[in-house]
Amino acid sequence: MADRVPTWEEVARDHGRFLYNVAYRLAGNDDDAQDLVQETLIRVRRGLERYEPGSLEGWLARIVTNVFLDEVRRRKRRPTDALPDDPGRVLPPAPAADEIPTGFSDEVQRALGELPDDFRVPVVLCDVSDLSYEQIAEATGVPIGTVRSRIHRGRRLLRASLLADGVSGP
Amino acid sequence: MSEQAHELVPEMLSAYLDDELDASTRDAVEARLAASPEWRAELAEVRAAREAVRGLPSLQAPDGFWDRVFTTVGAADDASLDDADTPPAAPTSLPARRSWRRASWLAVAAAIVIGVVAVIAVPHRSSVTPNVTAVVAQHGAQGSDAGDPVTMLAPVGPLAGFRR
Amino acid sequence: MTPGRRSAVVALCAALVAVAWPIAAGSASGGDTADAREAARLVRRARNAADRYDFSGTARVSWATASGRRHEQLQVRDADGAVEIVAADGAAVIDDGRRTYLHERLGWTGALIEPAPGALPDPTRHWDLATGAPATVAGRPATVVVATRADRTPAQRLYVDDATGLVLGREVLGPRGHVQRSVRFETVAVGAPVAAITAPQGVHSGTADKLTSVPDGYHAPQSVDGYELITRSKHPDGVLLFYSDGLFTTSVFEQKGELDWGALPSGGSDTRVADTSSRQYREPSGDVLVWQRDGVVYTCVSDAPSDVVANMVDDLAAADRSTVQSMVDFVLGPFGWH
């Protein structure tokens, strides 16, 4: 893999689940996550010739983040659209999880969804995508010091939100 | 860039957890942690949030999604890809809760007579305060004979709703 | 037949169909495939796996309440079929196979020894069971057994250890897919030596007498909304009924008298059961509902999902209504006289 550029089908097959998870944690629901993944793969297909072998998942995370932020901007321009975490929306059943959930994953996802995008994106890229601060800075286009600050503040906000929801651990 | 040039700030605690500090800054943060209960409390706070997110389950896209992706992304040419769309997910069907069936109007006439008599004839009864905690415990104990004992008894252990 | 009588018969037939249909549908759809049979086998195996293996570990209990989700970390160990579960604040449960002891602030108490339960119904009579994707819990490969409602929403996921059949995790899900309660091992060691578990000394455990029928004034329907009556027992201050649908269990404790609402534990919420006021608690071990009808106070505990409990309790409460009381309610209800 290091010696050649993968096809978009290989990306979808080998990294699709990674993409879906990042998309779901950013968007907060299955419908939007599906849209994000599909749009990301479309951009992957277009942009593969510009991909330089390296951290493929870092590159994918950058694309899915850009797709997500584009979508957020688009919805802000068209406020009649339901935003991803519209509380009045009837959510589809939670997607299947291979591992047993922690028991309060709904609350964690809700708390994530309540974070402002500037905080949610670096937290998801760090803790779901497992990207380095440098990769996150590259993906989001902000200085690494800002990434560090936003991750920390995002976590504190998340913790406060979980406590307010009665989740006192782990 | 070395962190030594910077003043220690609490936001370094997340970077500390993520192993994003150089060695000298890490040592400085650890020294501060040893001396400061506030820093330790904040570290516990962000660690809990970090673990909560990292502990989220790995999800799988719904059945059929990847087939649609391969079809949609693969079949469309670049010019039309922007318009590609995913079929919407089927709406959730929430189970309708059954409502209880009321008696027929045929009973009205008889009830007017019998019912009023019954209300008047209700004798004075003693006051009852059920020991809810004991019933919950008894349920766990009996349930553990019928099901696997650990998952029947483990929730009984906390008895949290009534203990605090 | 008069028009009024004909409409009453039609209403009665409709009611009978409404009651019978879910059971028939459950019977027809469950247990017919090799996968459903395998899932049912795993459930049966899980029931006594703890008797066959010694183990110890840390489990996490999580449950949703009206004020948010709560959780507890528990130390669990099992040796020679005895189970000990200890919470962080020292509260504990010991079950030595025959008796169950609880330790709280006031020390140890013993639960009454109940008569041995009869055979449980086949879970596939009321639930569609299937095995799900392989999972890993506490580092151990497990098979997920999913029980689904008639509308295909999951009601419970059991994580059954592939090697031993032990239940490593259990999630009870509401109708919208949210986990209402869960228990799961975070760490577990199977087969390593586990220190013997000794029951507390000098703690009295009385015995509840088995009943073949309940005394006058109590209500013990043989079957309620798919739940079958497994045992009836006499307690000093009432009658305890134990129901199961093969997957979940429900206890109903009945006491004669007037419910003292003000003396109930705090933390509950008011709800309605079959058009009767009720106090509800969401506990880690299940939903608790307390109500009163016809001079009997009912306390119901069930580990089933809330919607399943609500349906069962609605049927139970409504079935218990005397004809006279039904008529009184029917006539006086619209005028708000009670």
Strands C258-259 and B127-128: parallel
Say if the Cβ atoms of A38 and B59 lie within 8 Å: no
Strand-pair partners of A71: none
Dihedral sign, Cα of residue B3, residue B6, residue B11, residue B13:
positive
Band (pLDDT 50/70/90 cuts) for residue C191 is confident
Residue C125 has pLDDT above 60, yes or no: yes
Band (pLDDT 50/70/90 cuts) for residue C52 is confident
Question: Chain C residues with CB-CB distance to A under 8 A?
Answer: 60-62, 65, 67-71, 73, 132-137, 153, 157, 159, 168-169, 171, 176-179, 182, 184
Predicted local distance difference test score (pLDDT) of residue A125: 94
Residue A155 has pLDDT above 70, yes or no: yes
Mean pLDDT computed over every residue of chain C? 80
Angle between helical axes of A105-114 and B37-54 (0-180°, round to 10): 110
Overall size of chain C counted in residues: 338
Highest mean pLDDT among B17-31, C27-41, C93-107: B17-31
The residue among C21, C52, C77, C93 with the most chain B CBs within 10 A of its CB, best to mutate, is: C93
Average pLDDT over residues C93-110: 79
Instruction: Compute the distance between CA of residue A101 and CA of residue C180 in angstroms, rounded to an integer.
Output: 12
Residue A141 has pLDDT above 60, yes or no: yes
Q: What backbone torsions phi and psi does residue C194 show, to the nearest 5 degrees? A: -120, 130
Average pLDDT over residues C157-179: 91
**Surface of B (31-90) touching C: CB under 8 A:** 60
CA–centroid distance for B145 within its chain: 28
Band (pLDDT 50/70/90 cuts) for residue C263 is confident
Residue C152 has pLDDT above 60, yes or no: yes
Predicted local distance difference test score (pLDDT) of residue A75: 67
Highest mean pLDDT among C155-159, C226-230, C268-272, C312-316: C155-159
Predicted local distance difference test score (pLDDT) of residue C113: 79
**Measured between CB atoms, which of B95, B122, B161 is closest to C175?**
B95
Nearest CA in chain B to A112: B53
> H-helix or E-strand containing C277?
strand C276-283
Say if the Cβ atoms of A103 and C134 lie within 8 Å: no
**Measured between CB atoms, which of A101, A164, A168 is closest to C179?**
A101
Say if the Cβ atoms of C11 and B101 lie within 8 Å: yes
DSSP A86-152: -TTS-PPPPPEESSPP-S-HHHHHHHHHHS-HHHHHHHHHHHTS---HHHHHHHHTS-HHHHHHHHH
**Surface of A (80-109) touching C: CB under 8 A:** 91, 93-94, 96, 98-107
Percent helix, strand, coil in chain A, to 5, is 65, 0, 30
B38 touches chain A (CB under 8 A): no
Asked if residue C303 lies in contact with residue C171, where contact means CB atoms within 8 angstroms, the answer is: no
Average pLDDT over residues A83-95: 37
Band (pLDDT 50/70/90 cuts) for residue C201 is confident
Residue A126 has pLDDT above 50, yes or no: yes
Find tokens 């970090």 and name the residue: B50
Average pLDDT over residues C169-186: 90
Higher pLDDT, A6 or B108: A6
Instruction: Compute the distance between CA of residue A150 and CA of residue B134 in angstroms, rounded to an integer.
Output: 49
Cβ-based burial of C41 (10 A; exposed 0-12, middle 13-18, buried ≥19): middle
Instruction: Compute the distance between CA of residue A22 and CA of residue A74 in angstroms, rounded to an integer.
Output: 20
Say if the Cβ atoms of C176 and A167 lie within 8 Å: no
Predicted local distance difference test score (pLDDT) of residue C267: 79
Question: pLDDT tens digits, residue range B151-164?
Answer: 788 777 665 445 43
Predicted local distance difference test score (pLDDT) of residue C26: 36
Least confident of B53-57, B78-82, B108-112, C72-76: B108-112
Predicted local distance difference test score (pLDDT) of residue B151: 79
Instruction: Compute the distance between CA of residue A64 and CA of residue C314 in angstroms, rounded to an integer.
Output: 48
Least confident of A23-37, B79-93, C148-162, C297-311: B79-93
Chains near C with 3+ CB pairs less than 8 A apart are A, B
Say if the Cβ atoms of B148 and C46 lie within 8 Å: yes
Highest mean pLDDT among A82-91, C99-108, C249-258: C249-258
Instruction: Compute the distance between CA of residue C157 and CA of residue A25 in angstroms, rounded to an integer.
Output: 23
Predicted local distance difference test score (pLDDT) of residue B124: 44
Say if the Cβ atoms of B95 and C114 lie within 8 Å: no
Residue C139 has pLDDT above 90, yes or no: yes
Predicted local distance difference test score (pLDDT) of residue B96: 22
Instruction: Compute the distance between CA of residue C189 and CA of residue C184 in angstroms, rounded to an integer.
Output: 14
B56 touches chain A (CB under 8 A): yes
Higher pLDDT, C207 or C255: C255
Residue C27 has pLDDT above 80, yes or no: no
Band (pLDDT 50/70/90 cuts) for residue A86 is very low
Asked if residue C85 lies in contact with residue C76, where contact means CB atoms within 8 angstroms, the answer is: yes
Contacts of B105 in chain C (CB under 8 A): 4
Band (pLDDT 50/70/90 cuts) for residue C155 is very high
Q: Which residues contact C212 (CB under 8 A, 6 or more apart)?
A: C232
Nearest CA in chain C to A107: C69
Contacts of B60 in chain C (CB under 8 A): 133
Instruction: Compute the distance between CA of residue C27 and CA of residue C150 in angstroms, rounded to an integer.
Output: 11
Average pLDDT over residues B44-61: 88
Q: Where are the beta strands (DSSP E) in A62-149?
A: 96-97
Higher pLDDT, A98 or A13: A13
Say if the Cβ atoms of A98 and C68 lie within 8 Å: no
Question: pLDDT tens digits, residue range C290-325?
Answer: 999 888 999 999 999 988 998 888 888 876 544 444
Question: Closest Cα of chain C to B103: distance in Å?
Answer: 7
Find tokens 């504990």 and name the residue: C92
Band (pLDDT 50/70/90 cuts) for residue B64 is confident
Task: Record the tokens describing residue A63, joined without a space.
Answer: 């694309």
Measured CA to CA in angstroms, residue C319 lies from B4, B102, C273, C322 at distances of 75, 12, 12, 8
Predicted local distance difference test score (pLDDT) of residue A77: 56
Mean pLDDT computed over every residue of chain B? 66
The amino acid sitting at B27 is D
**Measured between CB atoms, which of A91, A99, A106 is closest to C136?**
A99
Average pLDDT over residues C282-287: 87
Asked if residue A91 lies in contact with residue B53, where contact means CB atoms within 8 angstroms, the answer is: no
Asked if residue C146 lies in contact with residue C156, where contact means CB atoms within 8 angstroms, the answer is: yes
Asked if residue C263 lies in contact with residue C217, where contact means CB atoms within 8 angstroms, the answer is: no
Say if the Cβ atoms of A9 and B74 lie within 8 Å: yes
Least confident of A44-48, B115-119, C36-40, C78-82: B115-119
Say if the Cβ atoms of B154 and C267 lie within 8 Å: no
Asked if residue C208 lies in contact with residue C112, where contact means CB atoms within 8 angstroms, the answer is: yes
> H-helix or E-strand containing C140?
strand C140-148
